[in-house]
Amino acid sequence: MTTAFYTHPDCKLHDMGPGHPESPARLQAIEDQLIASRIDQLLDHRTAPLALEDDLARVHSTAMIARVREHSLALAGTAGIYPLDPDTSVNAHSWQAALRAAGAALAATDAVIAGDIDNAFCAVRPPGHHATAHTPMGFCLFNNVALAARHALEVHGLERVAIVDFDVHHGNGTEQIFAHDPRVLMVSFFQHPFYPFSGTEPEGSHALNIPVSAYSDGSVVRQLVTEQWLPALEAHRPQMIFVSAGFDAHREDDMAQMGLVEADYTWLTRQIMQVAAQHAQGRIVSCLEGGYNLSALGRSVVAHMKVLADLE
């Protein structure tokens, strides 16, 4: 197996201010834990290129792209921060970081489809799954996974893909973007009621977003995956799987109140690998979303990557 690890130093320069949980330290925690667990040297390290504005425009409106670019670049040479919403800000480096984050997902998709690598994890920020076609929100600027999925469909001509979202929050942006696109099946679970307070009334018929109550643990998640996600994925027969890999459902993550542990991320990743092996020639591109307890995040990404790289 060749598993690529995409990241870029620019992704650590996007900073939404002191004390913001979506911090540059998250990527450092992942890199440190990969080294400590000795799997770092077994991965194919790749540098994320910059996405083009034309790539972003496959999902996002030109007005939204311009809004992010202009507010970020207006801060060049300053330490200022501009709030796009109460949770989501840009600094001078955010535009470049967002292009790297999207660029990682797109380059990973190209490399997996070319057969150059088996699968990939993109350790990038800003994350993406709350970003809609028209609005950055919820720590997200552009929807990296949605961009990659649409790239696979429209540039590479795939006919069916799936998006698996195991972040603790509902991926409202991804659902909205693909609500009327039957080529894309989205499966997720999310703590409910909880930010962004959506997901219980489907926007289209191709999303299986399953609300779970606070304090649910891995057994609840494993049961819903087995009973609901896997049959839906089997029926859809995706030719490639994209993962919105958020690790904020971890028991130690104070952002939410769910009870997953590393073994649950191992199990989840195995299920995704099996569907991919059966229908998608093993093709998986996974992108970091949430995960705010730095220790739990690092350990959970290691658990995820060990399965992707067939090391466990």
Give me the residues that bind Zn ion (CB under 5 A), please: 167, 169, 246, 248, 290
Among the listed residues 14, 93, 130, 151, the single catalytic one is 130
Indicate the residue among 87 and 248 with the shorter CB distance to Zn ion.
Answer: 248
d(CA 171, CA 150): 16
Using CB atoms, what's the residue nearest to Zn ion? 290
C-alpha dist (Å) from residue 186 to 146, 197, 205: 10, 18, 10
d(CA 16, CA 45): 27
Cβ neighbours of 75 (radius 10 Å): 17
Indicate the residue among 107 and 258 with the shorter CB distance to Zn ion.
Answer: 258
Indicate the residue among 169 and 299 with the shorter CB distance to Zn ion.
Answer: 169
Q: How far is the CB of 180 from Zn ion (least distance, A)?
A: 25
d(CA 151, CA 161): 11
Indicate the residue among 87 and 167 with the shorter CB distance to Zn ion.
Answer: 167
**170 counts as catalytic:** no
Nearest to 173 by CA among 207, 143, 203, 199: 143
C-alpha dist (Å) from residue 80 to 31, 37, 73, 93, 100: 27, 37, 11, 10, 21
Q: How far is the CB of 71 from Zn ion (least distance, A)?
A: 23
Q: How far is the CB of 255 from Zn ion (least distance, A)?
A: 7
Which strand (E) or helix (H) includes residue 230?
helix 230-236
Indicate the residue among 65 and 163 with the shorter CB distance to Zn ion.
Answer: 163
Nearest to 224 by CA among 176, 192, 179: 192
Indicate the residue among 10 and 248 with the shorter CB distance to Zn ion.
Answer: 248
Q: How far is the CB of 144 from Zn ion (least distance, A)?
A: 14
Q: β-strand 82-85 against 88-90: which pairing, if any?
A: antiparallel
C-alpha dist (Å) from residue 142 to 53, 149, 308: 11, 13, 25
Instruction: Provide the b/e sequence for 149-179 (b: ≥16 CB within 10 Å).
Output: bbbbbeeeebebbbbbbbbbbbbbbbbbbbe
Q: How far is the CB of 174 from Zn ion (least distance, A)?
A: 12
Q: How far is the CB of 92 from Zn ion (least distance, A)?
A: 25
**Residues designated catalytic:** 130
